[in-house]
A and B are shown apart, each in its own frame.
Chain A
Amino acid sequence: MTPKLVLIGLVAGLFSTIFGVGGGIVLVPLLILLAGFDSRPATATSLAAIGITALAGTILYAFEGHVDVAHAALVGLPAAAGAVAGTSLQQRVSSRALTLAFAFLLLLVAVWMLAG
């Protein structure tokens, strides 16, 4: 179990700083497929691991002068409120509709980034 977790952690960390994301996108599927986690513990455990990854990435990038604290607060603080709201919203909205809407939003953003 331990070597698998170390390997998954390495991949997630690499992914995190190359893309500026937490790494949950790779952590959750890898924990389920390689480490035999059930889906709920995989999601919860990946969230805790992402805290360490994102902190490390922030410190590494801050040394090179790439972190803008004011901008981080501007999007990060409302997001914390949104995350708390999101967990309760989950129970009321069809998760299929929400998932498809999210996928469509990401598609639009991708097209915008490729075009710009």
Chain B
Amino acid sequence: MSVGLVAFALVLGFAAGVLAGSFGVGGGILFVPTLVVLGLSQLDAEATSLLAILPTVLAGTWRQRSYGNVDWRAAALLGVASIAGAVAGVQVATSLSEDLLRRLFALLLLAVAAQLAWRCRRPSPYPSGP
């Protein structure tokens, strides 16, 4: 990998973290396209993005914990239930073509962009940050 690409990855990684810290979402949504630019397939980029999310989540949860905002019982229930969903999602993702997976991801980006723009239009029902 060239020095340029490594620098690109570091800058985009940092930016993804800033956005995740600011919006409560947004790490994975930038990791996936960044990893595709670095040469990974769409599926490998998505799988790798999930591992890349972990350090950000750990840092973020640790900070939130000190503010006392985390409902641990709800988080545990959500997390355990999500494992079943994750198993099904892996089956879906591995059965789709690279091209379709990429197009679906682009649609997700458009949906999130629209949701963010909507937040700016009127008083927000969601927080703009943690």
Q: Mark B38-76, 1 if CB is under 8 A from A, else 0.
A: 101001111111111111111111011101011110111
Tell whether, in the assembled complex, residue B13 and residue A79 are in contact, meaning their CB atoms are under 8 Å apart.
yes
Tell whether, in the assembled complex, residue B70 and residue A99 are in contact, meaning their CB atoms are under 8 Å apart.
no
B contact face: mostly helix, strand, loop, or mixed: helix
Minimum CB–CB distance from B33 to chain A (whole Å) comes to 5
Closest A residue, CB atoms, query B116:
A103
Number of interface residues of B (CB under 8 A): 101
Q: Bound state CA distance, A15 and B91, in angstroms?
A: 12
A32: chain B residues within 8 A (beta carbon): 125-126
Q: Bound state CA distance, A41 and B69, in angstroms?
A: 5
Count, A-B residue pairs, CB within 8 A: 391
Tell whether, in the assembled complex, residue B104 and residue A18 are in contact, meaning their CB atoms are under 8 Å apart.
yes
**For chain A, which range describes its interface: under 10, 10 to 19, 20 to 34, or 35 or more residues?**
35 or more
Tell whether, in the assembled complex, residue A9 and residue B85 are in contact, meaning their CB atoms are under 8 Å apart.
yes
Tell whether, in the assembled complex, residue A84 and residue B81 are in contact, meaning their CB atoms are under 8 Å apart.
no
Tell whether, in the assembled complex, residue A45 and residue B70 are in contact, meaning their CB atoms are under 8 Å apart.
yes
Tell whether, in the assembled complex, residue A76 and residue B52 are in contact, meaning their CB atoms are under 8 Å apart.
yes
Q: Bound state CA distance, A21 and B45, in angstroms?
A: 10
Minimum CB–CB distance from B98 to chain A (whole Å) comes to 12
Q: Bound state CA distance, A41 and B70, in angstroms?
A: 6
Minimum CB–CB distance from B66 to chain A (whole Å) comes to 10
Q: Mark A91-112, 1 if CB is under 8 A from B, else 0.
A: 0000110111011101101111
A81: chain B residues within 8 A (beta carbon): 14, 17
Tell whether, in the assembled complex, residue A45 and residue B78 are in contact, meaning their CB atoms are under 8 Å apart.
yes
Chain B interface residues toward A at CB < 8 A: 6, 9-36, 38, 40, 43-61, 63-65, 67, 69-72, 74-90, 92-94, 102-110, 112-117, 119-120, 125-130
A-B contact pairs, 16 of them (CB 8 A): A6-B77, A19-B108, A22-B50, A39-B127, A43-B130, A44-B65, A53-B86, A57-B90, A68-B48, A76-B13, A81-B14, A86-B19, A95-B22, A102-B23, A106-B112, A113-B33
Interchain residue pairs A-B with the least CB separation, the first 8: A82-B17, A13-B85, A20-B46, A86-B21, A9-B81, A52-B79, A17-B89, A13-B82
